[in-house]
Structure 1
Amino acid sequence: MTAKKLHLAAFVSAGPVSGSHGGWRHPKADGDLLSAAYYQNIGRLLEEGRFDLLFIPDIVAIPDTLGGSLDSQLRYGALGALRLDPLVVLSVIAGATKHLGLGATISTTYTQPYSLARALATLDHVSGGRAAWNIVTSFQEAEARNFGLTEQLSRDERYDRADEFLDVTTRLWDSWQDNALVRDREAPLFADPARVRRINHVGKWFNVRGPLNVSRPPQGRPVFIQAGASARGRDFAARWAEIIFVTPGLIDVAVEFRNDLRARAARFGRDPDSLKVLPGIVPVIADTEKQAKALHDELYGLAHAEAGLSTLSYHLGVDLSLFPQDQVLPENLNVPGVEGHYREVSELTRRSGLNLAELGQRYGAGRTTSGFTGTPGLVADRMQEWFEAGACDGFMLQIPYLPGGVEDAVHRLVPELQRRSLFRREYDGSTLRDSLGLARPVS
C-alpha cells in the first residue's frame, strides 16, 4: 500500500480548448461556456472527486503568430479564440464549492503588483483560503500590443521584472499582521494601526508605498503555480513556486525535470518537498479499451491540424507557416517563446518522424504525453508508474471535452486511484495549502 498520496489538478480553460482542440466540437460537449452555470457545474464535479485544484490558464490576446492572421484561431476555436477573465470565473465557482482550490493565470508583465495582490487577497478571503496564482511572464508580441508596448521585453527582463513583482506582492500581503483586523465594536477598534505597515518599495520596475487595503489572506498568500522550463524559468520556479506545471512526453524526461527542480529549490534554501510537480496529461477514459480508443480517435479527428499548428506557433513564438508542411520541425530554431514546448515537440519529431502538418494535428488533439488512454485501470496503471518512479507528485489533467471528461475522471478514474490508496477519499482541511500539505507562510 502506498502511503504517499498523489495530487490532482484540473486544467480547464475559460474558453473552448482545455485538453483538445476538438473538444468543443464533440457532440456531448456543453457549448454554453459563457454561462456561470457551466463553470459552477465543473467546479462541483471536481470537488465531488476531491481534486486539489481547478486551474484556469489565460492569455491576453488572440494569437496571430501563424501567418500573421487571426483566422486559424477564430475559425477553428483554437487556444486563444476566446478567454474569459479567470478571476471573475473563479469567483463564480468559489460560491458553488467549499474545498476546491482556485488557480488563476495572471501575467506579471501586464499588471501592477498592488492590483494583483489586492485581487488575489480578495479571492482568498471570499473562498476561505483556496486561491492560487499561476505566475506567467508573457512573451507574445500580440499581447504586448494590447498594453501599449511596441515590442516585448526580453526573456531576462521579463524574469527580472517578475522577481521584483513577487518581492512586492509578498510584502504587500504581509503588510497586515495576521491579528491586525480586530473589529472591536466597543473600543472602537476596527483595525490596529500598529499592526499595519507601509512597505515603501523603491526598485527598478516598481515603486509601491503600501500598505495593501485588504487584510492578510487566510493562506498567508496564495499558492504559487509556475511552468518555467528554460534555465532561468526553472530557477524562478525553484525560488517561488509550490506547484510546477510541466508537459514532458517521456517518463525519464519527467524524472530528470523533477530531480533538477528539487535540487534547485534546495540551493534556494527551500524544502524540496514544498514543490509539487504536476505533469500535464490528457486522459481519455472509457469502460473498455475499444471504447477509449474510439473516443480518442473521435477527438483526434475533430482537432484540425491548422488549429494545433496555430497554437504551437503561439507557444514557440515562431510562424510555422514559413516552413514546408510536409517536412519535420526544423532543429535549432531560435525560440522566443516556451523553450520547454520546443524541446517537447522536438523529441516527439525525433521519435515519430511527424511532419509539420501531422505535428499540428497531434499537438491540437492533445499535446504529446501519450499512454493515458484506456480503461480506468490502465490509465491508473500509467499514473502509478510515473508517480512511483519519482516523475511527479501528481497530475494536471487537461480535460479533453467538458463536462464529460471531468465526469469520466471523477466517476471512473478517481475511484480506481482511491482503491489503490493513491488518492484521498476526503479533503485534509479547509484551505488549498491543507490539501497540498503546504505550510502557511509566516508573515
Structure 2
Amino acid sequence: MFFKWLKRYMPRGIYARAALIIVLPVFLLQVVVSFQLVRRHFEGVTNQMTFAAAREVQLIINLVEDPDLEAGVVPSVLDGLDMTLTTHKTLDAKDSRLWYDFTGIIIMRVLREQLPQLRAVQLADDKVVRLFLQTKPTAISVEFERRRASASNSHQLIVSMVFFGIILTIVAYLYMRNQLRPIKRLAAAAEAFGRGRTVPYSPGGAIEIRAAGSAFLDMRNRIERFFEQRTLMLSGISHDLRTPLTRLKLGLSMIDDDDRADLEKDVEEMQRMIDAFLDYTRSDYEDQRTKVNAADFVRDIVDGCARAGQNVILYKIKGDGDISFSTDTVRRAVENLIGNAVRYGNHAEVSVRITDKSVRIRVEDDGPGIASQDREEAIKPFARLEPARNQNKGPGVGLGLSIAADVARAHGGVLRLGESERLGGLRADLVFGL
C-alpha cells in the first residue's frame, strides 16, 4: 500500500528518475555523515574546550574569593587569560543563546557542571561568552572569546560537503545523461516506426542497450520486408486482374442490353475490389505532409462525396485550427468511412471537433452498427461481418476500416469504433494529435 501511494509522486521521465536515484543517496549520505560528525566530533571538541575554559574561570573565582590576595594579582591573571571581569551589585541575568547555536547547549551544560557559582550563561552571538557568577564577596560577570569554548567555523565542513556534493551530483548526472541518450534515441526510432516513418538509427551506449538496438533494427527490417512483400503481392495481383477486366468490359459492350446489366454489375464489383486492394497496398503512407485547415479539409471531402451521389452531410464543426498530415491518405481514410456508412446504412453524418491537442473526425450512420465484441475484429484486413451488417449496396472487401486504422496509426492517431447515440448505427472516430 505504501509503495502504491509513493508511486503517484514519483517522476515519470527517465531523466528525472535517474536524477532522483543519484541525488537522494548523496543527500541521505550527507545528512547521516553530518549528524554523526556534529554529534561525535564537534560535541567532543566542545566538551574539552569548554572544560578548559571552565577551569580558567574557576581560577579567577578562587582568586576573587581569596581575602589575602594582593590587589594586582587578579588583573594580571585576567590579562594573561584574555578575560574580562565586571562586578555587579545584583544578578538578574538569564540564559540566552541563538536558536541555531547547537554547540551552545553543550557549553551551557559543561559550565554548569564545572562551576557551582554559575547563575546565567549568555551566548548572544558567536563571538563572546558571558558568564554571571555569584561569589562570596560579590556578584561578577566574566567574558571571554567564544573560540575558546567551541571550534570556530564549524559550519565550513558542512558547507564544503554540500558544495562538493552538488559538484559530484552534476558530474554524475551528466554521465548518466550520456548513458540514457541511446535509450532516448531508441525510443524515438521505435515511436517513429510505429507511426509509419523510418528514421536513421544506429545502436550505441552500453552493451545491453546496443543489444536492444540491434534487436530493434532486426525487427524493423523484418517488418519492412513483410510490408514490401505484401505490397508487391497485392499490387501484382491487382495489376494482373486489370487486363482481363478490361477485356471483359470490351466484350460486354458488344452484348445485347438485356444480357449485359447483370454482367456489368459484376464487373463493377470486381473493379471496386481491385481499387480497394490497391488502396491497401499503399499502407506505407509516405506521402508528403501538408498543413491544412482541418474544418475546410473535411468540408471539402463531404462535399465531394455528396456530389458523387452518397447520402452524407456535414453535421457539425466545433473549433478551428490547422493540422499537418498526408492529405491524400487521410482523405482516402475519411472517404472509406463515409463509403462504409452509406453502404450499410441509408444516411451518414460527419462532424469535426478541433481542440488545442487533437482533431477528431467522426462519421456516424443509421445502419445496424457493429457489436462491441466484434469491433476489434472489424478493423482487421479482409474482415467481413455480414451477419451483423445488413448490406444494402452489395458486399464489401473488408478493407475500409483497416485502411482508415492504418492511416490513423501512421499519423500518430487512432481509429475508435462505437455506437452512434443520435443515429443508432456505427460511430467511427478518426483522432489525430496536434
| Greater relative CO, 1 or 2 (CA 8 Å, sep 6+) | 1
Structure with max Cα Rg: 2
TM range (shorter): under 0.3
TM-score by length of 1: 0.21
